[in-house]
Amino acid sequence: MSDLFVAQILVYILLLPVLVRPFVRSLQWIKGIPVLPLLALLLCIAVVAANGLPVVFLPTLLCTSITFFVGLSRLLRLFRRLPTDWFSSGSRGVHVLLCLGWLAAVGTSFSFSSEPAYLATKVVSRNTLHLRLSPGVFADVVVWMPDADTEVKGLVYYAGGPLPSSSLRPTMGAIMAENGFVCIAADYRSFEDWDNPLWAYSGIRYVAAVFERATGNKGFLPSKAALDAVHSLDFFRFSRLASLVVPDVYRRVISERSLPLYLVLEGSAVSPGLNDRQSTSLPFAGTICLGGDASSAVTESVRIALSTTLPALSASVPVMIVDELTLPGFGELTASDPLAARLMGLPRDALRKEAERTARRVVSWLLFRDSHLATDIQVVPQGVEDEGE
């Protein structure tokens, strides 16, 4: 049972006494009930702040907002210490409609609840951080790390888009940590990056991307040029970010060159990420592209379908492109937000099976690549490696 689903259940429990109060005499004498929609709305705001705005949460948010505004006059009467226990026939009719809406929202939440999260076979840690990188630039970061007894094998930076990177691939982050890799995924927020400041909020981009894909109409999201420019800015912010969240691992990557640094790209981050890795001083030892348009930005790569066996020789090539993903660019959306998947005409990823297969394909290549690089004296920047081959 996901945290989001638990939060939805709590919201519905808070709303239920408010909706049935006109029809239950014993509840009419409880004066504090008009406060419950306010508490439910505050809980919804907290959920959106923590998880963005999944489509499956929209019915819950809509039901809560309508109930709050319908009951706002009673809440104000309560604050003025006036009676709130009288209901007209019209008010009872409105509450009947609200009850029907509540039942529809509850049914939607249960029918399209998120798939259970992947359970790691080893102890791994998932740390969520909220940082201020520079004036006007903030980052919401998720760091997956192996336990203290597991040898760290490398640092992985995951960049996806236009959906929020920090929540796109939790299964992959956990499986990477199981195998000894430190994985960083971050959402950067700066109003100066966008022509419309609303696009700085990843939750708004999430909803726009889903409805653009569901309707087939372009124009919901910013232009490709605008997304590429923002991805480039975010890419060069990673060095500062990594030095803050995993300083010891970052030192071993940059100063000591004793750990490899890998890059995993997905969605709108693929093309700008492949271009920008060549111009950065970061020593990327390998890059994995989960779908996306990588052909125009890379000269040497290997394409591997998700349904085929991964050959060990593929690790000799610095870029691997994974094909046959159900929804490239949207991470684990078909498991974490089945209602959004239904709107797109796609089935849910039951038990996150495809998410796990994708993650294990990525980790297998990282391990092959790590073995391939083990004979090198040091990990060289990928741009230099490409030029020499």
| Rounded CA separation 60/106 (Å) | 8
CA-to-CA separations, 128 to 143, 315, 383, in angstroms, rounded = 7, 31, 31
Considering only the C-alpha atoms of the chain, give the largest distance between any 2 of them, rounded to a whole number of Å: 82
| Rounded CA separation 336/108 (Å) | 14
pTM for the model stands at: 0.86
Cα angle: 93, vertex 96, 102; to 5 degrees: 145
Measured in whole angstroms, the distance separating CA 76 from the mean position of its chain's CA atoms is 38
Cis amide prior to 381 (ω within 30 degrees): no
The tokens for 220 are 């919901």
CA-to-CA separations, 148 to 145, 262, 389, in angstroms, rounded = 9, 21, 37
| Rounded CA separation 292/328 (Å) | 7
| Rounded CA separation 111/114 (Å) | 9
Give the chain's residues under pLDDT 50.
377-389
